[in-house]
Amino acid sequence: MSTQYSHLSNFERCRLFEWYHYQKKSIREVGRLLNRSHSTISRELKRNKYDYYVPTYYPHPAQMYYEVRVRERAKRVKLKSVEAQRYVTDKLKLGWSPEIIAGRIKFDKTLPSVSYEAIYQYIYKNEPSLIVYLARQHKNVRKNIQPVNENSLGRKI
Q: Which residues pair with 56 in a beta bridge?
A: 50
| pLDDT value, residue 81 | 86
Percentage of the residues of the chain whose pLDDT score is greater than 90? 47
What's the mean per-residue pLDDT of the chain?
Answer: 84
Q: Which of 20-24, 131-135, 145-149 has the lowest mean pLDDT?
A: 145-149
Global pTM value: 0.55
Q: How confident is the model at residue 126 (pLDDT cuts 50, 70, 90)?
A: confident
Q: Please, which residues have CB within 8 angstroms of residue 145's CB and are 6 or more apart in sequence?
A: 124, 128, 131
147 in Cβ contact with 117 (< 8 Å): no
Over residues 118-143, the mean pLDDT reads: 80
Q: What is the rounded CA–CA span in Å between residue 93 and residue 84? A: 14
Q: How confident is the model at residue 152 (pLDDT cuts 50, 70, 90)?
A: very low
The tens digit of pLDDT for each residue in 62-94 reads 999 999 998 888 777 778 888 999 999 999 999
Q: Please, which residues have CB within 8 angstroms of residue 55's CB and are 6 or more apart in sequence?
A: 49
Q: Which of 32-36, 42-46, 126-130 has the lowest mean pLDDT?
A: 126-130
* Residue 50 three-state SS: strand
Q: Which of 28-37, 47-56, 75-84, 140-149 has the lowest mean pLDDT?
A: 140-149
State yes or no: pLDDT of 42 exceeds 90.
Answer: yes
